[in-house]
Amino acid sequence: MVKEQENPDPDFKTVSFPNPEFIEVFDIGKKYANKVDADIIIATDPDSDRLRVLGRREKADYYGFSGNELSYLLVDYILKGLKSKNILPQNGAMVRSIVSSDLIEDIGKAYNIKCFESLTGFKNICNYANIWEKTDEYKFVFGYEESIGYVVTDFVRDKDGVQIAMLVAEMAAFYKKNNISLYDKLQEIFKEYGYVSEFLTSIVLEGQKGAERIKRMMDKFRNENISEFGGIRCKEKIDFINGYKDVGPSNVLKFILNDKSWFSLRPSGTEPKIKLYIYTKDKDKNIGDKKINDLKKDILQKLENIK
């Protein structure tokens, strides 16, 4: 426990903004962790429903796992554990938000576990648990969204940082017995399923003019047939405005490219900004990173050109 942060403080004076998605939140914790050579650092947001983890890298500083990367670690650990104890449900299923990485689908397939998509927000993710409780069609195993929210099994039915903190500590201890860090384990997962590069950002546009420009951005990407992004041909455009398959309606666009890279655009429902999510997957990290940089540059330029 970080001494300066162990007592409730409504002003959160030790951080500029109490959101563990921002790496600066860990500054004080890292000082303590370096003194004792801690393997991991865990931080939650003020109401402890979201959680982020930093893990020690060999001969390096702590690595900040993204919300997606922690999901890979958790899903791999949970499913392997259930299988080793012969309690992996035959009808097990997971749920991810439509703007979260789809790598957990690949991990799930290795265990015959299905993965479903939902709109963002845990009322949508956990609604699957409510439905399956009545139909008994599937058993809810795991749910997450990239903004560091997770839930394991269906007894909480909301994102729960306390539950995940305990599971992360257990997972880190398990791997340490085998001289593997969480960072090393993540690299093993990438080697097995493909390296995922990701880029997530928000473009803030305040006021009435900002709202109108965000609408123009969405309209242009929605209505025009843009053939390629970052030099990669566009294979499919999915518009969630009227819903798509089992996912309800929302002002979200998803573009799937020929190499299975994809990106999504959506206006924030609570803040004056438009959010961009880009994902690529490749067996070669360097190729994946180059793709993400090319896509980022091109998509951001296309958005910037919309005045």
pLDDT tens for each residue of 209-258: 999 999 999 999 999 999 999 999 999 999 999 999 999 999 999 999 99
Same-domain pairing of 8 and 25: yes
pLDDT in tens, 253-276: 999 999 999 999 999 988 999 999
Same-domain pairing of 239 and 175: no
pTM: 0.96
Same-domain pairing of 147 and 259: no
Same-domain pairing of 201 and 257: yes
- Residue 41, pLDDT score: 98
Same-domain pairing of 223 and 289: yes
pLDDT in tens, 2-39: 999 989 899 999 999 999 999 999 999 999 999 999 99
> Count of domains in the chain?
3
pLDDT at 1 > cutoff 90: no
Which domain does 144 fall in, by range?
A: 67-192
- Pairwise CA distance, residues 201 & 234, whole Å: 21
Backbone phi, psi, residue 212, to 5°: -70, -35
Same-domain pairing of 41 and 117: no
Same-domain pairing of 75 and 57: no
- Pairwise CA distance, residues 52 & 38, whole Å: 15
Yes or no: say if 99 and 120 are a contact pair by the CB < 8 Å rule: yes
Rg (Cα) of the chain, in Å, rounded? 20
State how beta strands 51-56 and 40-44 pair: antiparallel
- Residue 60, pLDDT score: 72
Strands (E), the chain: 40-44, 51-56, 62-64, 92-97, 114-118, 139-145, 149-152, 195-204, 228-229, 232-239, 253-257, 262-267, 273-282
pLDDT at 199 > cutoff 90: yes
pLDDT in tens, 114-156: 999 999 999 999 999 999 999 999 999 999 999 999 999 999 9
Same-domain pairing of 99 and 207: no
pLDDT in tens, 275-290: 999 999 999 999 999 9
* Distances 228 to 95, 102, 236, 284 between C-alpha atoms, Å: 29, 21, 11, 22
Burial of 113 (0-12, 13-18, 19+ CB in 10 A): buried
- Pairwise CA distance, residues 296 & 288, whole Å: 12
The pair of three-digit structure tokens given for residue 222, joined into one six-digit string: 């929605």
Same-domain pairing of 230 and 158: no
CATH number at residue 71: 3.40.120.10
Strand order in the sheet with 228-229: 195-204, 273-282, 262-267, 253-257, 232-239, 228-229
Mean pLDDT of 291-304: 98
* Distances 93 to 30, 50, 137, 149, 288 between C-alpha atoms, Å: 36, 22, 10, 17, 28
Name the 3-class secondary structure at 142.
strand
